[in-house]
Copies of this chain bind each other. A is one copy, B any other.
Amino acid sequence: MLKDRFIADIYSEAGKLVGSQVRVCGWVDNIRDLGGVRFILVRDRTGVMQVVVKKGLTPQDSIEASYQLVKESVACFEGTLSEGPSKLKYELHATRVQPLSKPVEPLPLEPATSLEAQLSVRLDYRWLDVRNRKVSAIFVFESWVAHMFREHFRGRGFVEVFTPKIVAAGTEGGAEVFPVIYFGKEAYLAQSPQFYKQMAVIAGLERVFEVGPVFRAESHHTVKHLTEFHGLDVEMGFIEGPEDVMSELEGFFRRLASEAQTAEELRGVREFFDLSVRVPSRVPRITMRQAYEILRERYKKELPPGEDLDPQAERLLGDYAREEYDSDFVFVTEYPWKIRPFYTMRKEGDEDWTHGFDLLFRGLEIATGSQREHRYDHLLKNLRDKGLDPGKFQFYLNFFKHGAPPHGGAGLGLERIVKQFLGLENVREARLLPRDPERLVP
């Protein structure tokens, strides 16, 4: 390897390393030339180090090599780690400069100031934008959230599954699917792993999770919609009701909020973002009927019963949870049957309402879940009540013919969690290479 450690690793051992030879590799962040001495700032994902190149210290061929470097060149530097006068505290006195790669064209976007550019320009030049350490911190954080999700649920007996993304039918019976040309057969991209994670539970895996892409052919142009995002899905058997699923989610978010404060690998993220989040010991749960009432009485916002929450309503309920419960999270439960998919379990004797819920995080829906209907005859009825043709869902109905435990689960949007946690304005900022109706490259 040309590089044996990250810059942050050098800083964390700097006390021991001072006076010895170290090797720093990365991107040239900046160069200051003061005649006989050049100060080169080298950057990697974890930090920035100053390299000092000067006559007497640095051999002539390396001094010359340093003149090949421009901003965003890639290079390795060897030298003595020294205490320095800069605010970085340590610097490298170079004995060797090894250029590796140099821009062949002027930079269309300066990493240092990329956050001042329009988002569409940043996304066009994402490989420069992400060199800004505040931007790369978003992706380090995202990687950590996915990790925590898996670790949390693995620790609770969940098995990771890998279900197909090419499917023969849409999950919700709707039209918002991308067709795929599949060896002359009709096929689509999966809108969610819903049917298959339920199948895995019924197949005896019992508690499963999946982290994978989700495709939605929705022509939305908002700051919270993507046509391709990553779903964090869980599904669990032998529940008594949707509360069991909510408790699991609550436990996950409580842990996420707590460990975000201390996780070593987030040290670089905490340089740029405030990671504090309020998750009370019991996240408030309000029924949709209560939500309509709160919106009407407290915020003078009228939503017809049976209608979904609009973005403003979500924000107001987020305010309500913070003000009343000091909570950044709130569950809205017992969603109307009218706006939930056919596989949602309905309330016994009160069939206009369901065992479905949403989880709002700082006023944005980040998870949707429910107890599922596991009874074959009820599933048939649900399909018919939705005006759907059971014949088209036979492959799914078959799963329920041979013993299915009561079960439920939820699907979370990874990018939305990151957006809300970090206070980003647009969910696209939390996706390395977002896709929307207009954007398909890079």
Contact = CB atoms under 8 A, between A and B. Distances in A.
B76 A432 contact: no
Interface string A108-143: 000100000000000000111111000010011011
Contacts of A395: 441-442
Interface stretch (A11-19, A89-97, A200-208): A200-208
Given A74-B403, A185-B440, A143 B128 contact: no
Interface stretch (A236-244, A284-292, A299-307, A312-320): A236-244
A70 to B, nearest CB: 9
Contacts of A182: 178, 217, 227, 440
Interface in A368-413: 374-377, 395-396, 398-406
Given A178-B166, A199-B442, A204-B27, A2 B406 contact: yes
A428 interface: no
Interface stretch (A54-62, A155-163, A341-349, A357-365): A155-163
Contacts of A26: 204
Interface of A: 1-3, 6, 25-28, 43-45, 72-74, 76, 100-105, 107, 111, 126-131, 136, 139-140, 142-143, 146-147, 150, 154, 157, 159-168, 178-183, 185, 187, 189, 196, 199-200, 202-206, 211-213, 215, 217, 219, 227-228, 230, 237-240, 244, 374-377, 395-396, 398-406, 414, 431-433, 435, 437, 440-442
Contacts of A150: 147, 150
A139 to B, nearest CB: 6
Q: How many copies does the complex hold?
A: 2
A24 B98 CA distance: 65
A111 B203 CA distance: 10
A167 B433 CA distance: 10
Contacts of A168: 440-441
Nearest to A181: B179
A399 B74 CA distance: 13
